[in-house]
């Protein structure tokens, strides 16, 4: 990989040689994207350039400009949603001499939530599926800078000169929050302002003000408000009037030096105004009336607007010039102090802006009397523990470096052991020993809080209390029964990524369903989805929850094997209000005898008991099913990688994992007024003292 300065020079060579420097008269002009084409309008609404191009409403929300070389870039999306869009650029004087930038390896630009171009450092800043990235101009190198909250509505706006990202988001059914974060992902702050039902967000980097389109006191009446970067001094800028059903809930807006352009909810009007006089001018109407282009006789479905202005990013010192970075430099700022951060060389991975060794991916597989590890790069299979009886479940916890803690269920007992990459399992311990009447049916690790959970069955208990979910310390020294449940059969435990719930599959009197309980054990159970024999004709032996190494947002995707139908089925939804959708991912004859299942990014893996073969297919389409060149024991399967186990996200995890938030034994995450809070839990036989932290 070449030094950053050389790559930037090569990127600049891709710009058309004839691309002129912007004329002063173009400063303050407006670039707009519609479903029928791209418009460039001057400050009075006169048409400068027009490009007919079909844009899709579900993707083309954003446009970026570069006054330094007189170009504009936008997301160009095909009608087929399964085909990724591209970042398309053109000189704003014509808009028709276009070129497409390469597709990033780490994400699809079709899923962009916000985009800005730093024309001083020659970097892109993007928020994609709630994940923040910085990328080189050619998208050949990208770094993840952190995740953003929000799973209902989400808005983001960048202030490149001050290295800030502003965003509006809400979790579940909670209130909307206006947040500001440094571009390097540090110092997330919630600004003290109340929001109703926001529909747009922009920042003015010149005056350092935030602009929000928000619902007023009456339903469907929207207005533009401004406030300072501390979230204070909120003022009404202009009323947009009543916009009811049948209009877009999202309004695009841009502001530079007090000059505002707004795309209204009807997607037909772009208003231009100055905060000094607040008189609005309809730019599109003037452009349409004076146009000689037939395609402009009726402009509908406007999608995004952007002011073309050199004032939006004044020329500043290049912080990367003297940073000494060999690969890729990220300009950063903390508490107003400018700086720079380097990306990592090959073989290392950037985590929280620090470089760490890039570990290979492994699979740990049980085979009745043994545990095996498969190197997924070489397909080498190695037995790491033998002399077992009947292993039915394996899980893991990365403890740092090249060491993992492995946990497994063998003949109803729960065990743990340490595995160092390349070696055998050592330090084997019994955490729970089965008896003739009580035995473990499954186990799962809570990576977030560093706990172990297993499910016991007591054959002597009443039918309503036969199954018990146990919360345990990793060494088994402290245990807490957090729930008693009923049903004929239960198995296939899993823990949500946020760590506040544990789930499992169960056969409840003929209805097959997934069920979850809070880690606190105080709120009982809730069903994820009950589908009965109409959908599931056999009890799932193995269930997998989608995980990601590349930062893709987790979308509540559950996979399981239906042996009778020789298929992998999935439940998925895109947000908290969406209904769970059941679908069949793929059918394959080996699935009638599957021993294990796991999912990572765009691949699903399973084992075949009879042959011991390890199989894989595309986890999104079910296509490209193939056997890997590895013969295994064919049982329970878990994919091992440190990067699969993300660090706790403080926005979703209530506990400080390092200190247990002061809890003497267990700290789990609870939910209180839409906020994640730490909850101290005591082992069986102990109770909380008055300080609500100490068990006695």
> In which band, very low, low, confident or very high, does the pLDDT at 490 lie, cut at 50, 70 and 90?
low
**pLDDT tens by residue, 529-559:** 444 433 444 445 556 666 544 444 444 577 8
In percent, the amount of the chain with pLDDT more than 70 equals: 71
Mean pLDDT to the nearest integer, 441-463: 87
Higher-scoring residue by pLDDT: 474, 501? 474
Measured in degrees and rounded to the nearest 5, phi and psi for residue 5 equal: -65, -35
Q: Are 191 and 180 in contact (CB under 8 A)?
A: yes
Instruction: Look at residues 185, 188, 206 and name the one whose alpha carbon lies nearest to residue 134.
Output: 185
CA 622, 628, 632: angle at the middle one, nearest 5?
A: 115
Q: Which long-range contacts (CB under 8 A, 24 or more apart) does 525-531 make?
A: 525/483, 525/485, 528/503, 528/558, 528/571, 528/580, 529/571, 529/580, 529/582, 531/582
Residue 57: pLDDT over 50: yes
**pLDDT tens by residue, 160-209:** 888 888 988 776 566 888 988 887 777 888 998 888 888 888 999 889 99
User: Which range scores top for mean pLDDT: 181-195, 313-327, 401-415, 597-611?
Assistant: 401-415
Residue 27: pLDDT over 80: no
Domain ranges in the chain are 4-13+30-354
- Least confident among 68-77, 222-231, 305-314, 440-449: 305-314
Tell me the two tokens of residue 232. Answer: 């204070």
We find that the CATH architecture of domain 4-13+30-354 is 6 Propeller (2.120)
Question: CB neighbours of 261 closer than 8 A, spacing ≥ 6?
Answer: 30, 253, 254, 255, 270, 271, 272, 283, 305, 307
Residue 216: pLDDT over 80: no
**pLDDT tens by residue, 613-671:** 999 999 888 999 999 988 888 888 898 887 777 666 666 688 888 899 999 999 998 87
- How far apart CA 506 and CA 487 sit, in angstroms, is 7
Residue 525: pLDDT over 80: no
Higher-scoring residue by pLDDT: 126, 251? 126
Question: What sections of 271-364 are H helices per DSSP?
Answer: 283-289
Look at residue 411 in the predicted model and tell me its pLDDT: 93
Tell me the two tokens of residue 615. Answer: 């199989």
């Amino acid at each position: 990989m070449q030094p950053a300065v050389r790559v930037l020079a090569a990127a600049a060579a891709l710009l058309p040689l004839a691309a002129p420097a912007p004329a002063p008269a173009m400063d303050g002009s407006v670039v707009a994207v519609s479903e029928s084409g791209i418009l460039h309008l001057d400050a009075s609404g006169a048409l400068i350039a027009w490009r007919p191009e079909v844009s899709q409403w579900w993707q083309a929300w954003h446009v970026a400009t570069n006054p330094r070389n007189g170009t504009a870039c936008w997301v160009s999306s095909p009608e087929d949603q399964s085909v990724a869009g591209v970042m398309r650029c053109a000189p704003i004087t014509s808009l028709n001499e276009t070129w497409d930038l390469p597709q990033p390896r780490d994400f699809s630009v079709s899923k962009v939530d916000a985009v800005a171009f730093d024309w001083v450092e020659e970097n892109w800043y993007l928020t994609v599926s709630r994940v923040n990235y910085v990328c080189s101009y050619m998208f050949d190198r990208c770094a993840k800078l952190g995740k953003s909250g929000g799973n209902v509505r989400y808005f983001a706006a960048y202030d490149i000169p001050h290295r800030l990202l502003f965003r509006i988001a809400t979790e579940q059914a909670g209130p909307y929050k206006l947040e500001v974060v440094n571009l390097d992902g540090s110092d997330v702050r919630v600004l003290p302002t109340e929001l109703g039902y926001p529909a747009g967000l922009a920042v003015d980097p010149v005056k350092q003000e935030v602009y929000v389109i928000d619902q007023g006191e009456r339903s469907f009446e929207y207005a533009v408000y401004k406030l300072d970067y501390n979230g204070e001094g909120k003022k009404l800028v202009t009323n947009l009037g009543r916009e009811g059903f049948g209009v877009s809930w999202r309004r695009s807006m841009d502001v530079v030096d007090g000059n505002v352009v707004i795309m209204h909810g009807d997607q037909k009007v772009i208003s231009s105004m100055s905060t000094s006089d607040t008189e609005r001018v309809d730019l599109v109407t003037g452009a349409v009336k004076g146009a000689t282009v037939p395609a402009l006789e009726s402009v509908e479905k406007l999608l995004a607007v952007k002011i073309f202005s050199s004032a939006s990013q004044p020329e500043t010192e290049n912080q990367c010039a003297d940073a000494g970075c060999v690969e890729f430099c990220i300009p950063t700022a903390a508490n107003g102090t400018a700086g720079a951060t380097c990306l990592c060389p090959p073989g290392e991975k950037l985590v929280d802006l620090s470089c760490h060794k890039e570990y290979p991916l492994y699979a740990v597989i049980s085979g009745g009397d043994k545990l095996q590890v498969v190197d997924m790069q070489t397909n080498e299979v190695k037995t790491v523990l033998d002399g077992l009886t009947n292993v039915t479940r394996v899980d893991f916890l990365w403890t740092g470096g090249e060491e993992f803690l492995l946990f497994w269920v063998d003949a109803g007992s729960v065990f743990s052991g340490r595995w160092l990459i390349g070696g055998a399992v050592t330090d084997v311990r019994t955490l729970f020993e089965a008896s003739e009447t009580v035995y473990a049916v499954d186990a799962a690790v809570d990576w977030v809080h560093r706990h172990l959970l297993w499910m016991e069955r007591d054959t002597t208990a009443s039918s309503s209390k036969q199954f018990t979910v146990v919360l345990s310390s990793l060494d088994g020294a402290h245990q807490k029964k957090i729930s008693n449940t009923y049903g004929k059969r239960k198995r296939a435990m899993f823990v949500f990524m946020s760590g506040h719930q544990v789930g499992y599959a169960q056969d409840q009197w003929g209805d097959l369903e997934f069920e979850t309980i809070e880690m606190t054990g105080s709120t009982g159970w809730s069903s994820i989805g009950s589908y009965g024999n109409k959908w599931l004709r056999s009890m799932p032996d193995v269930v997998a929850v989608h995980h990601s190494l590349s930062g893709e947002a987790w979308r509540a995707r559950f996979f399981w094997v239906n042996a009778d139908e020789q298929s992998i089925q999935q439940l998925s939804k895109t947000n908290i209000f969406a209904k769970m959708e059941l679908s069949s991912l793929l059918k394959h004859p080996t699935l009638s005898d599957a021993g294990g299942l796991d999912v990572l990014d765009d691949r699903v893996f399973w084992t075949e008991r009879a042959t011991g073969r390890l199989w894989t297919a595309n986890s999104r389409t079910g296509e490209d099913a193939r056997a890997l060149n590895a013969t295994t024991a064919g049982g329970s399967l878990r994919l091992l990688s440190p990067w699969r186990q993300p660090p706790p996200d403080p926005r979703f995890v209530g506990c400080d994992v390092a200190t247990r938030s002061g809890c003497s034994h267990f700290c789990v995450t609870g939910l209180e007024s839409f906020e994640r809070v730490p909850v101290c839990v005591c082992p069986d036989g102990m109770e909380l003292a008055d300080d609500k932290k100490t068990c006695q």
